[in-house]
Structure 1
């Protein structure tokens, strides 16, 4: 499943000139010291600390990274799907340097030009009347504050969130999350109600067509809201296109139906665009594929390509009015940090000047989508490919008829580990989750590098084919 965006007649986005010089022995030695210190002192997220063997990165530029041994890898992961304009973009690096020379930091109650400009740019790009921006330090706290705003705006407590979703690692955000990372942290008292999403490939509703999936998923959602009591529901949060949960694009009519349900019941609709936003899907915001205007939008990652931590909430006029004369009880010391906002201003400027969002749509429609569909036809281990722009998933299965995954939901498997190892051996740094390989390169990756990475994926899928069962 994919969304093929209509492309204007524009030149390809400018790609960074790639450094080809070899990594020096001194750089490798420095990397080894960094690795030793890491293993002695750094506590890593989402890991059992003992067996974890992290890769050292010595250098990164454009869509390439070099590991601790000096090996060149094509970054098909955009790290955590956030380096949307690639590594070390000179315009963004220069903007951070210039801002550091002028004003490194200032308390958030004071006006600074970088934050004001960034807020204006985000509001200009956001759909509808989302004209105000509350800046945070990342996506998880953006989600936390969006929920707080919705609860205060409505006077209600319950929040609906989909299974097969990810909303962040802080306490409320991880309770909103609908994948197994929630389970060790879920105390059951967060006020969150999970519902089943529209997911045509693994339908929870026995659907055989997208139209059936839309109708049945919307009926299920409204039934759950009625059973929980609409008067108790403050918000519904939904990733416009779920990211780490599987990049499953909502079927036609689903997002419009969710918006209609939330509007009829006075529920704040929050579009989580932390991963899908800022060009990733081939549009500035993924919600724009359906011309739906939410009440709040959470964002982070791509707003400044992850160069300095930044997130935020774009706020509709109606919710802003709740706090015009009433103090909003929340804030962060580094809200709207000048270095982060200067990076956002430069990133948005570079994306516009270089046609990077349009390029992401072109890559999805002309390169990634067609090539992945060819691989799906060739390799029996591929159950489905789906996506939009530079935001795609390859779902790997042991049997296409039963759709048995190559790794269990919530975990990995020796088979998947071998596929990932084959990708790395082929010179690609992949993004893998459960039984899926995600194809999520920088939006300005040169075509030749992208094709090289997809050829490596083709070879890795030969490994996956060896695990297919009749």
Structure 2
């Protein structure tokens, strides 16, 4: 049997099941974000901890956490047991009724959330959390327009994809969603010709305030911003930027929505990434890591001021599965496991002692690496053709044969990466061991020899 890394048995029955699943997938399943005919998806036959096994029985280190959501790793026994117990007790109930799992999940999230975000509206995932947060902001302010950053991603549903600021919105954007955009602070590819992080913060905030004034403050309901943008590049805001954004939203009476769908629940080494800058939003969207993806769940954490808007006024929105017992029991168990096992602290330690230094060393060895950046278990390796010009190895909004070769080399070495445009993202489970994390970096290091062949 062909394996990569440590030899691990995958039974013939699982391999045969995987082959049958692949055939049925290609016959019946319609996949997202790809042309259907040429798509050749990888079969996953098994997953455990920080590893997955593909359709050939090869073991891969999961440096993607799938969709950057499997924060506690695969098949965590405590969470699996909680799902089983909840299924035996109460599988489902209408959202109008109280269920203990939802009440406890809301309590825990409110306890962890910054500021006075003491109320939680549960959704099915991140995109509908964004949709409802914007609806709340519009009703709260009586305004319509929403400010969002270029190089951002907020979800695939109608409004969320229009609020998105990267090319995935292009085919869906008809320009009537009430969205205005601004250039974010992004030091590596500065839109403001900045030469230092401080200069980037100053110029980006001046641009944002100009945008607010030119759009008309009294027309703006909300500003939505990923605390650390995820699929758009994991570009960490420079010092002072997030506090400056918050100050501008307060100055002009704009609801500040922190999008923590990908960056939340320990991903960057804090429970929520806004905590790095002591920022308190009016609304906060979450999903992904709240259940480690075991059962779909998202939500909006709501400040007291916005809650008061709906104390006597009905909120015109809801979902059949809002606060679903299986999902909420999963969230309770996930948060408990993260707390008891110190996963958030471990993620911070890995970022400071393994990923940060390790990726910096990799950058020194490879001329194809323009920059490495991140926090906790949330890092990006930006690949370029030329370090001086910073020409990306794949165009913005697309891919290239060079990037395809690099991703293939990473997988052949035994790592399942998260790749987007010209970047490889390093986003493993928060409880990955130091040994496995370092092994993953070694594999990435070797694979980048392929990228170097395409760089000047």
Specify if TM > 0.5. Answer: yes
How far apart in 2 are the matches of 1:88 and 1:27?
17
* Alpha-carbon distance, 1:451 to partner: 1.0
8 Å Cα contact 2:384-2:391 kept in structure 1: yes
How far apart in 1 are the matches of 2:439 and 2:92?
42
Of 426, 440, 450, 2:437 maps to: 450
How far apart in 2 are the matches of 1:22 and 1:382?
36
CA RMSD of aligned residues (A): 1.0
Q: Does 1:125 align with 2:117?
A: no
How far apart in 1 are the matches of 2:346 and 2:76?
16
Q: What corresponds to 1:54 in structure 2?
A: 41
Of 261, 266, 275, 1:274 maps to: 261
Q: What corresponds to 2:30 in structure 1?
A: 43
* Alpha-carbon distance, 1:162 to partner: 0.1
Cα deviation 1:68-105 (Å, max 9, x = unaligned): 11111110000000000000000000000000000000
Q: What corresponds to 1:468 in structure 2?
A: 455
Secondary structure, counterpart of 2:316 in structure 1: coil
8 Å Cα contact 1:19-1:61 kept in structure 2: no
Query: Which stretch has the larger CA shift, 160-169 or 444-453?
Result: 444-453
Of 107, 124, 128, 1:141 maps to: 128
Cα deviation 1:421-470 (Å, max 9, x = unaligned): 0001001100000000000000000111111111000001111111112x
How far apart in 1 are the matches of 2:448 and 2:18?
31
8 Å Cα contact 1:255-1:290 kept in structure 2: yes
* Alpha-carbon distance, 1:25 to partner: 1.2
* Alpha-carbon distance, 1:31 to partner: 0.6
How far apart in 1 are the matches of 2:8 and 2:209?
58
* Alpha-carbon distance, 1:19 to partner: 10
Q: What corresponds to 1:254 in structure 2?
A: 241
* Alpha-carbon distance, 1:27 to partner: 1.0
How far apart in 2 are the matches of 1:165 and 1:20?
40
Secondary structure, counterpart of 2:118 in structure 1: strand
How far apart in 1 are the matches of 2:367 and 2:17?
44
How far apart in 1 are the matches of 2:326 and 2:7?
29
Q: What corresponds to 2:177 in structure 1?
A: 190
Q: What corresponds to 1:234 in structure 2?
A: 221
Secondary structure, counterpart of 1:33 in structure 2: helix
How far apart in 2 are the matches of 1:438 and 1:61?
21
Of 224, 234, 252, 2:211 maps to: 224
Of 411, 421, 436, 2:398 maps to: 411
Label 1:118 to 1:19 Cα distance change in 2 as closer, same or farther (>3 A).
Answer: farther
How far apart in 1 are the matches of 2:71 and 2:6?
19
How far apart in 2 are the matches of 1:132 and 1:202?
38
Q: Does 1:321 align with 2:305?
A: no
**Gaps in structure 2 of 5+ consecutive residues:** none
Of 62, 66, 88, 1:75 maps to: 62
How far apart in 1 are the matches of 2:147 and 2:90?
41
Q: Normalised by the size of structure 1, how large is the TM-score?
A: 0.95
Q: What corresponds to 1:66 in structure 2?
A: 53
Cα deviation 1:191-226 (Å, max 9, x = unaligned): 000110000000001101111110110011110110
Q: What corresponds to 2:16 in structure 1?
A: 29
Of 256, 279, 288, 1:292 maps to: 279
Secondary structure, counterpart of 1:23 in structure 2: coil
**Gaps in structure 1 of 5+ consecutive residues:** 1-17
* Alpha-carbon distance, 1:389 to partner: 0.2
Secondary structure, counterpart of 2:132 in structure 1: helix
Q: Does 1:203 align with 2:190?
A: yes
